[in-house]
Structure 1
Amino acid sequence: MVIFSFDEPKRPEPHNYRVTFPDLNVLEFQFAAIQLNRLSWRDFLTQPNPIAAALMSKMNISKKERPQVKAECLRLLATLKLDPARMQLISGFVDMYLRLDATEEQSFQATISTMGLTEQEEIMEIVTSWQQEGAQKALEKVAINLLREGMATETIVRVTGLTLEQVQQLQTQPQQNNN
């Protein structure tokens, strides 16, 4: 099975792959091809499956439906009651592949405000975890930059609000390109 997740082209992809020479067929694979950009996200709204919730974000979505699809992906995800690690993995996939601009974000917020209170709270919990994770990564990046500049660990703790242990852990991590 092959899952094609690209946005373009939308033409049907082949269901086989061949390696040949002019007079010799060396290798041939035949597979089921699932081309997400040719599937309707609406067909997966009622599937109690975390993979469906994630992959809906790469299906055939019109520009005006993007906020609704993101809300529906998260609504479906919230109903599945997954453990926090799986929830974060799948919601991160949705957030990465269905990024909304400011106007779409307003429409997304309006869409989730029309949902039932319980669903709305669960979706906002997912969105809040994205924001918290982003804020944590930003603080860590600032701390790493301050460490590179030679600032005292205690000062970095005061400035960033990170714990001493967190700053010390960042100090011992191999230096990566964090620019």
Structure 2
Amino acid sequence: MSSVRLSLIPYNYILFLMSSVRLSLIPYNYILFLMSSVRLSLIPYDYILFLMSSVRLSLIPYNYILFLMSSVRLSLIPYNYILFLMSSVRLSLIPYNYILFLMSSVRLSLIPYDYILFLMSSVRLSLIPYDYILFLMSSVRLSLIPYNYILFLMSSVRLSLIPYDYILFLMSSVRLSLIPYDYILF
């Protein structure tokens, strides 16, 4: 396989070859090389996922995982798998906008609440559009969010852009006795 010009091999044949060898015996770098040599748009989505799960994610360059993820129709990827991938890459290296894009592609109601909070705390809140923070906050059960975290979020968005009703709703969701007096006044 390394002796032929991969660009001359019909895409289906490369896939057939790849499925004929035991993936566990292929050096990880080679799988990645092959995957980058085939037109991803022609590979069945399930197969890409299968390949990705067959390589040790910790050895895949972070940018490549992101590239692959953006090449498959996210709506067809099982939600748990997206989350697994996201937790396998160093979040600090993922462009903020991409995390947000991924988060909006999964059904938020199926994501464990703690995970949403973890993701939100991993992106620079000052770069997240205000409306999106509010959307996320309204998608998690507020009663499960630690009170301090709600306050932290509230202080990270420009309060003047939040609809008044929403501020009141948030305030009524936290135990007022835990809010510093100065903050209530503000």
Question: Which structure's residues are more often helix, by fraction?
Answer: 2
Q: What is the TM-score when the length of structure 1 is the normalising length?
A: 0.36
Q: What is the TM-score when the length of structure 2 is the normalising length?
A: 0.35
Question: Which structure's residues are more often strand, by fraction?
Answer: 1
